[in-house]
């Protein structure tokens, strides 16, 4: 490993020592961690810590000491690096066109132009170029997780029926919780000593919280959960989207109270109830139609996009959307209906498709955009508020079971790839 470290150091010196003047003014970078065949340097870590610190200040979570924050951010970077490495092995990429569309959608969701969005990011003290590349990495990681974890989750008809029967009496589909979460993880092949050590740690944290320690601060400092740097905030979740273990732990709590430690296959959990509510299940449904052109060895991304641009121009010149969809669309289900997708509820389409539909005005036709299925143009025909009721019970049950299974499988998968990776922390003085 000495030769390998010298090689990495040579690369860094080559990149940072552009002149004797700049070297005198700026301390040399050094390797902090080796992650398989990649490295995380001190400059990379410092930049990421500074970005997270600014975000924490904005959300009033800046009370964490620097060493603790650096430790959490470094672990996040290690986990992200491993996932990016795996994504490369599977050929998963996000090109500039897809990235730009995502940033435009983020800007639009905040009622901003892309230029205004960029100014707002920089006004918060964040580097927009780094923000852009971090967004690209997040998109790549999401695609990897979808392929290796989410796509392998199966929900049987029997599970759906059991779920409906169990939840009809308790009506838990209408109860939602705002939670914070702390995970003290145990290794996949944990020994009794590992489990005992984790139990003692979670009990110590629980005791600190009962004596007045801030739960969000404790999450940032100690949690191994994916939401640790957000103070453990899980957001608003329906009860039927949460592990039953979590629901049982918080259902009798009052807002602000913290559950006693509970154990799962991932480790030990603490949960704090921020708020809960019981609401009618009203959702916004969208009636849309689209034209799909799939890519293949004969049809490139550029060709598919150009075809859709030509079709869009024909529609804007007076041609019938339905007739063109019937002739050109490669979605067999909607092709025979002139591209009509019918009424859809949230979660029925892929996130990329749904984001575009949600940001579209009625009667507006999109520019060509890409999803995992190919290239689309889309028109929203109508929207309505709808109580899902009995007709959507099975879809609700399927989505809730999938979400619950994905969350647990993702925790186990992240722990496994972290355990299997070669990770070596480098002492600067060695």
First to last CA, the chain: 12
Q: Which residue range forms the structural domain that includes residue 31?
A: 2-149
Give yes or no for a contact between 321 and 315, defined as CB atoms under 8 angstroms apart.
yes
Query: In the prediction, which pLDDT does 20 show?
Result: 37
- Of 157-166, 290-299, 418-427, which range is least confident? 157-166
Q: Is residue 430 part of a domain?
A: no
Tell me: the pLDDT tens digits for 109-156? 888 999 999 999 998 888 999 999 999 999 999 999 999 999 889 999
Q: Is residue 409 part of a domain?
A: no
Residues 254 and 374 in one domain: no
How high is the mean pLDDT of the chain? 86
Tell me: the pLDDT tens digits for 54-100? 877 655 556 778 888 899 999 999 999 999 999 999 999 999 998 99
Position with higher pLDDT, 93 vs 282: 93
Residues 339 and 246 in one domain: no
Longest CA–CA span in the chain (Å) reads 74
pLDDT at 329 over 70: yes
| Sign of the dihedral through C-alpha 325, 328, 330, 332 | positive
Query: In the prediction, which pLDDT does 429 show?
Result: 60
pTM for the complete prediction?
Answer: 0.55
Give whole-number Cα distances, 46 to 8, 18, 73, 128, 297, in Å.
18, 21, 10, 16, 43
Residues 142 and 7 in one domain: yes
Mean pLDDT of the region 213-233: 92
Query: In the prediction, which pLDDT does 16 show?
Result: 42
Query: In the prediction, which pLDDT does 66 show?
Result: 84
Q: Which of 277, 244, 275 is nearest to 179 (CA)?
A: 275
Q: What is the CATH number of the domain that holds 260?
A: 3.10.50.40
Residues 242 and 223 in one domain: yes
Q: What is the CATH number of the domain that holds 105?
A: 1.10.4030.10
DSSP strand pairing (267-278 vs 233-238): unpaired
pLDDT at 199 over 90: yes
Based on the number of CB atoms within 10 Å of its own CB, is 225 exposed (0-12), middle (13-18) or buried (19 or more)?
Answer: buried
Q: Which of 227, 257, 280 is the last residue of a domain?
A: 280
Q: Is residue 414 part of a domain?
A: no
Q: Is residue 403 part of a domain?
A: no
Residues 196 and 314 in one domain: no
Q: Is residue 225 part of a domain?
A: yes
Residues 23 and 135 in one domain: yes
Residues 41 and 105 in one domain: yes
pLDDT at 274 over 50: yes
Q: Which of 115, 25, 40, 48 is nearest to 84 (CA)?
A: 40
Based on the number of CB atoms within 10 Å of its own CB, is 410 exposed (0-12), middle (13-18) or buried (19 or more)?
Answer: middle
Q: Is residue 406 part of a domain?
A: no
Residues 299 and 231 in one domain: no
pLDDT at 284 over 50: yes
Residues 301 and 382 in one domain: yes
Spatial distance between the Cα atoms of 347 and 216, rounded to a whole number of angstroms = 29
Spatial distance between the Cα atoms of 269 and 245, rounded to a whole number of angstroms = 10
Residues 128 and 205 in one domain: no
Q: Is residue 423 part of a domain?
A: no
Mean pLDDT of the region 386-402: 74
Query: In the prediction, which pLDDT does 428 show?
Result: 64
pLDDT at 15 over 80: no
Tell me: the pLDDT tens digits for 331-366? 988 999 999 999 988 888 988 999 999 999 999 999
Residues 109 and 18 in one domain: yes
| DSSP calls for 370-410 | EETTEEEEEEEEEEEEEE-TGGGHHHHHHHHHHHHHHHHHH
Spatial distance between the Cα atoms of 355 and 358, rounded to a whole number of angstroms = 5
- Domain count within the chain: 3
Q: Is residue 361 part of a domain?
A: yes
Residue 272, beta-bridge partner list? 180, 258
Q: Which of 149, 165, 186 is the last residue of a domain?
A: 149
DSSP state, residue 225: S
Residues 205 and 269 in one domain: yes
Give whole-number Cα distances, 412 to 169, 185, 188, 225, 294, in Å.
32, 10, 8, 11, 34
pLDDT at 390 over 60: no
Q: Which of 280, 309, 333 is the last residue of a domain?
A: 280
Query: In the prediction, which pLDDT does 381 show?
Result: 95
pLDDT at 11 over 50: no
| Predicted confidence band of residue 6 (pLDDT cuts 50, 70, 90) | very low
Residue 269 belongs to what H/E stretch?
Answer: strand 267-278
Q: Cα dihedral angle (97, 103, 109, 112), rounded to 10 degrees?
A: -110
Query: In the prediction, which pLDDT does 185 show?
Result: 92
């Amino acid at each position: 490993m000495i030769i390998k470290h010298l090689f990495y150091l040579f690369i860094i010196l080559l990149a940072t020592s552009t002149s004797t003047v700049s070297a005198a003014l700026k301390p040399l970078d050094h390797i902090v961690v080796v992650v398989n065949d990649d490295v995380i340097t001190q400059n990379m870590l410092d930049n990421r810590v500074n970005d997270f610190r600014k975000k924490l200040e904005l959300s009033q979570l800046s009370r964490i000491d620097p060493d603790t924050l650096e430790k959490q951010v470094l672990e996040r970077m290690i986990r992200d690096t491993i996932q990016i490495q795996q994504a490369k092995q599977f050929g998963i990429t996000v090109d500039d066109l897809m990235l730009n569309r995502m940033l435009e959608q983020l800007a639009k969701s905040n009622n901003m132009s892309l230029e205004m969005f960029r100014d707002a990011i920089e006004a918060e003290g964040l580097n927009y170029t780094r923000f852009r590349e971090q967004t690209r990495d997040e998109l790549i990681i999401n695609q990897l997780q979808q392929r290796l974890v989410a796509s392998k989750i199966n929900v049987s008809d029997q599970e759906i029926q059991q779920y409906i029967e169990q939840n009809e009496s308790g009506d838990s589909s209408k109860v939602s919780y705002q939670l914070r979460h702390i995970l003290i993880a145990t290794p996949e092949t944990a020994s009794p000593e590992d489990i005992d050590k984790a139990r003692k740690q979670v009990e110590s944290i629980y005791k600190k919280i009962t004596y007045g320690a801030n739960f969000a601060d404790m999450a940032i400092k100690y949690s191994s959960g994916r939401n640790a740097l957000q103070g453990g905030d899980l957001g608003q979740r329906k009860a039927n989207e949460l592990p039953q273990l979590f629901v049982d732990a918080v259902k009798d709590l009052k807002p602000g109270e913290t559950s006693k430690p509970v154990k799962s296959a991932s480790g030990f959990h603490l949960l704090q109830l921020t708020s809960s509510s019981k609401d009618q299940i009203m959702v916004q449904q969208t009636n849309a139609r689209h034209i799909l052109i799939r890519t293949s060895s004969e049809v490139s991304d550029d060709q598919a996009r150009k075809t859709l641009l030509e079709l869009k121009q024909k529609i804007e010149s007076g041609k019938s959307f339905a007739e063109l969809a019937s002739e050109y669309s490669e979605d067999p289900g909607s092709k025979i209906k002139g591209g009509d997708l019918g009424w859809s509820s949230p979660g029925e389409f892929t996130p990329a498709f749904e984001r575009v539909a949600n940001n579209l005005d009625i009667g507006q036709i999109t520019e060509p955009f890409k999803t995992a299925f190919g290239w689309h143009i889309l028109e929203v025909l109508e929207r309505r508020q709808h109580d899902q009721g009995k007709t959507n019970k099975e879809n609700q049950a399927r989505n809730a079971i999938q979400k619950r299974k994905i969350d647990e499988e993702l925790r186990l998968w992240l722990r496994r790839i972290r355990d299997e990776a070669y990770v070596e922390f480098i002492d600067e003085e060695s």
